[in-house]
Homo-oligomer: A and B are copies of this chain.
């Protein structure tokens, strides 16, 4: 019988988190976009100004998945929410309920912290959409995600009058 466990990631897990980030990016056909290094994970997850929190899923004591999240904010609710940046289970570890267990843990964290919501973005072709649907997530069809980055971001920054 396998033993599954969800736990909070620690400093010592930074290399494991980066490995799983890279596995996820490969699954999304976006590995060429990964610029993160272990030092980034250490600084932003476990330094004096944390930018994210992370859960690890373990199967028989080995890391088999992760969920990386941070607080967002709803001005309508007047309270924070959780935003799930990444959730990933290694292919070999699928079917053991780790994804569902991590999602339940995230929901419990959200409720415990009086968060209004658990939000995420998902790629339109990702089969995980069915999984999210089963868990009760709704597709916010009225809302479209927009992004400014790279040269466009620097150009607009240059227009600031200070």
Chain A interface residues toward B at CB < 8 A: 6, 21, 24-25, 30, 33-37, 40-41, 44, 51-52, 68, 70-80, 83, 85-86, 100-101, 103-105, 107-108, 110-112, 116-125, 129, 132, 135-140, 142-149, 152-157, 159-162
Copies of this chain held together in the complex:
2
In angstroms, Cα B78 to Cα A144, docked, is 24
Residue of B21, B34, B118 near A153 (CB, 8 A) is B118
In angstroms, Cα B138 to Cα A156, docked, is 14
Closest-CB distance, A101 to chain B (whole angstroms): 7
Among A73, A121, A123, A135: residue with most chain B CB under 10 A: A73
Contact A107 B157 (CB under 8 A): yes
A118-B147 contact, Cβ under 8 Å, with A68-B75, A71-B51, A78-B35: yes
